[in-house]
Structure 1
Amino acid sequence: MSFWMSVLPQTPPRPPLPGDAEADVCIVGAGYTGLWTAYYLAVADPSLRIVVLEARTAGFGASGRNGGWCSALFPKSVPALDRAYGRERALALNAAMEATVDEVGRVAAAEGIDCDFAKGGTVVLARTPLQLERARHEADEAAGYGLDLRLLSAGEARERVGATGVLGGTYTPHCAAIQPAKLVRGLAEACERRGVRIHEQTPVTRIAPGRAETPHGTVRAPIVVRATEGFTPRLPGLRRAIAPVYSLMIATDPLPASFWSEAGLSDRETFTDHRHLIIYGQRTADDRLAFGGRGAPYHYGSAVEESFDLEPRVFAELRRVLGELFPALGDVPVAHAWGGPLGIARDWMASVGLDPATGLAWAGGYVGDGVGTTNLAGRTLADLIRRVDSDLVTLPWVGHRSPNWEPEPLRWLGVNASLRLMTAADTAEARTGRPSRRAALLGRLIGA
């Protein structure tokens, strides 16, 4: 159980599907994607019969255990989207993502969901000369597109995040720190208040046009939405659609004011740095440090098991890096450690869509940037399902089809080699002071 879930009152699961059922829309997965879709559909048309099926409990997956960054980040950068779809469409998607951060805050306030929403923005630290060079390049590139990303001096960056060795960084206001489990639980309750039926303990064994099959019965509906993200490979025919890659987190107990006087984060800015292997953190509403990163292995055959959530080596490395960033932590122990899979599409491109010929809809492939993106997905799916000709349905990710991942063992070799390459690139850059050509090559290969 994630720290986020562990601090909430423990409630019994909702009843499973009692048998065969009929619906107008059947949604598979009660994470952010499925619940946002159900919410916006129910708000727009209260007459719709909406059924959500969940294998465990609402928010059991990434929605209840992520880093709590409700950001405007999209897996593909604006320059990459520009190359693929043109400048106007790339900027339209970026603008939609920026607006999404405020939309999540609006709904949370309107529905009385106290998810510790604090829009303090994101600081990306530069702690080596090479990282500072990357920060400058990113800021210059953003300026060319008119994006709201500012280069920070060393003093400006340290004022926001009192980490060691800070040479500068970048700042964007388009991110809010949240308590993700509070958001997903509150969203599920908001859906139920509008008549959405959520059946937990109901694993879907097969999705087909017009129906979702479970051990408890079949739900028949003209529209079936797949909102399964990192668990997608468990469905027949979708083993290679998404690669489930693990992201792990740790959290401290609440830290004293003396620590925060040095560490900063007074506006609850989310933070990371310009290394290659992703790390991410936030100051929680109750003054803990919650910190996570990649590094856990991909498992052969896109396997997803609860035992994979715990990697002592990765937890130890996260604590080491956190102590390196904030030496004032001293020997403060890790109070909570958890993890789980997120979904990565073969081309690193999140997508959302509806096939009108089959009634099958989908959204996913968020590459860990799903807290905000799922909201945009839910609104977009609601428009697609209701055949509303909105600006959202013209965005470049709508209808995109990512290629399948390679068959095994190529998938296992490729994904794990990429993870090792990122770690090796950071080590080599620290040793040589020169940028990693291998990391640059990988970036080109995935179209970042």
Structure 2
Amino acid sequence: MAPVSAVDGGLSLWLDQAAAAGSAPSRPALAADADADVAIVGAGYTGLWTAYYLAKADPSLRIVVLEREFAGFGASGRNGGWCSSLFPASLAKVARVGGGRERAVALQRALNDTVDEVGRVVADEGIDCHFAKGGTVVLARTPVQLARAKASVEEEREYGFGEEDVRLLSAAEASAMVGASNVLGGTFTPHCAAIQPAMLARGLAEAVERLGVTIHERTAVTAIRGGVVQTAGGARVRAGKVVRATEGYTPSIAGFQRDVAPVYSLMVATEPLPEEVWEQIGLAGRQTFSDFRHLIIYGQRTADGRLAFGGRGAPYHFGSRIEPGYDRDDRVHAEIRSTLRELFPVLKDTAFTHRWGGALGVPRDWFASVGYDPGRRLGWAGGYVGDGVGATNLAGRTLADLLTGRDTELTRLPWVNHRSPRWEPEPLRWLGANIGLRTMSAADAEEERTGKSSVRAKVFGRFLGH
């Protein structure tokens, strides 16, 4: 994959940079039937972390990873680069669905610790993914957003998380970290690292190969049944256990069409910014940043001095379709650039070098899960709703324990063996997903106009992660 610098040229800034850093190994497609102890479908973060911890736990295992394109092609090579402790469902929802307060707290503490575990592995394996644990600032830029910031910290306190986990920022404190416009306050958590996501995916792929794992690229999987993985080329893998690690691409596999809905998130990246601009923007510690609007935005300062910034807003496509053309949407990308310039007026004349997008996986109840079904010999993890860079590591460690039959603290966490309802058939799925998108966008406009919390957002929030 040659480096591309044109705005519409590459799959993402991250993949372009990874390609420019050196040629990735060319991994052959699966050419003939094969046998394995564990077959993993998908060479994104979930599949690669699972392979890594399985190989560490039992070096004798024959592990085969099958990837439709190349390692890191999907969300793992296109995301915002937040290795965070985020989970798509709130603490209150995890407690309600997952068996109580203590179990919700255990999951959140495991996710908090996961950021440091990723940092440990990338250091041990020599993966240069620009890991910088600067934490996350979520800005409050309206009185309604400030009220949400205060409520979010209060909820954390109710569950026993202290100042060391999340704290409320004054306007001056928040502005000192992120020099955005109209800042009234915000929150800060240290439990996040900015990374170069494609370099993490590439480094993980190379690390698992050093451990004896086989990766087959350009090998599309069409079906998984009874420990047999069928590929589009006709070759099969017979395995004692199979792991489905396909996230937004899950609907492309027979029998899983309604397990998750692929929803697009789009991003842009600026040219490298001069130091005098960074003096106004801040982010000196490479903090990741967002704000308390309903329609999610996210950004980071890259290691080479750019702003990489993204958000939701692209429509869900009928039939859970994923197409290369959906990676770019002129309207949504224009809105993302406009939002970034509104946040940081100093960028009004700044050039943007990249724009891209990709599909993430949304389960019907917005509750990520990891599990193993012995009867079907099938393990899975996913439904991260865009919060997967950190959670995939926890999922990989958990799957390694589940597949090797170990009863551990990880296998008792409340997302283990959680079963999300299936999405409705079309056209109901298309209607529901896109109504939700429009509702949250309208709620932000309503709050800006009225200065009051949106009732429609509160009502629709019951169907999301709240």
> Does TM, scored on the shorter chain, surpass 0.5?
yes
Does 2:154 align with 1:140? yes
Mean alpha-carbon deviation: is it higher for 418-427 or for 2-11? Answer: 2-11
Task: Give the distance between the partners of 2:114 and 2:386, measured in 1 at CA.
Answer: 16
- Choose from 117, 132, 136 the match for 1:103: 117
Q: Which position in structure 2 is the counterpart of 1:196? A: 213
For residues 332-411 of structure 1, the aligned pairs below 5 Å read 332-411=350-429
- Choose from 35, 60, 64 the match for 2:48: 35
Task: Give the distance between the partners of 1:118 and 1:210, measured in 2 at CA.
Answer: 40
Q: AA paired with 1:285?
A: A
The 8 Å contact of residues 221 and 230 in structure 2, kept in 1 or not, is answered as yes
Q: AA paired with 1:144?
A: E
Task: Give the distance between the partners of 1:421 and 1:13, measured in 2 at CA.
Answer: 44
Q: Tell me, what secondary structure is at the counterpart of 1:221?
A: strand
For residues 112-151 of structure 1, the aligned pairs below 5 Å read 112-147=126-161, 148-151=165-168
Q: Tell me, what secondary structure is at the counterpart of 1:205?
A: strand
The 8 Å contact of residues 16 and 216 in structure 1, kept in 2 or not, is answered as no
Task: Give the distance between the partners of 1:146 and 1:264, measured in 2 at CA.
Answer: 31
TM-score, with structure 2 as normaliser: 0.95
Q: Which position in structure 1 is the counterpart of 2:301? A: 283
- Deviation readout 1:18-38 (Å, 9 max, x if unpaired): 200000000000000000000
Q: Which position in structure 2 is the counterpart of 1:431? A: 449
Does 2:63 align with 1:46? no
The 8 Å contact of residues 177 and 268 in structure 1, kept in 2 or not, is answered as yes
- Choose from 13, 18, 31 the match for 2:26: 13
Cα offset, 1:216, TM superposition = 4.4
Identity over the aligned pairs, expressed in percent?
65
The 8 Å contact of residues 17 and 216 in structure 1, kept in 2 or not, is answered as no
Task: Give the distance between the partners of 2:125 and 2:417, measured in 1 at CA.
Answer: 30
Task: Give the distance between the partners of 2:462 and 2:55, measured in 1 at CA.
Answer: 41
Residue-pair matches, total: 448
Q: Which position in structure 2 is the counterpart of 1:90? A: 104
TM-score, with structure 1 as normaliser: 0.99
Does 2:185 align with 1:168? yes
Q: Tell me, what secondary structure is at the counterpart of 1:7?
A: helix
The 8 Å contact of residues 174 and 186 in structure 2, kept in 1 or not, is answered as yes
Does 2:195 align with 1:178? yes
Task: Give the distance between the partners of 2:199 and 2:465, measured in 1 at CA.
Answer: 34
Cα offset, 1:11, TM superposition = 3.2
The 8 Å contact of residues 36 and 375 in structure 1, kept in 2 or not, is answered as yes
Cα offset, 1:302, TM superposition = 0.6
Q: AA paired with 2:450?
A: T
Q: Which position in structure 2 is the counterpart of 1:413? A: 431
- Deviation readout 1:308-353 (Å, 9 max, x if unpaired): 1110111100000000011111211211000010000000000010
The 8 Å contact of residues 259 and 363 in structure 2, kept in 1 or not, is answered as yes
Q: Which position in structure 2 is the counterpart of 1:2? A: 12
Q: Which position in structure 2 is the counterpart of 1:26? A: 39
The 8 Å contact of residues 63 and 371 in structure 1, kept in 2 or not, is answered as yes
- Deviation readout 1:351-409 (Å, 9 max, x if unpaired): 01010112111100000000000000000000000001110000000001100001111
Q: Which position in structure 2 is the counterpart of 1:152? A: 169
Q: Which position in structure 2 is the counterpart of 1:262? A: 280
Backbone CA RMSD of aligned residues: 0.8
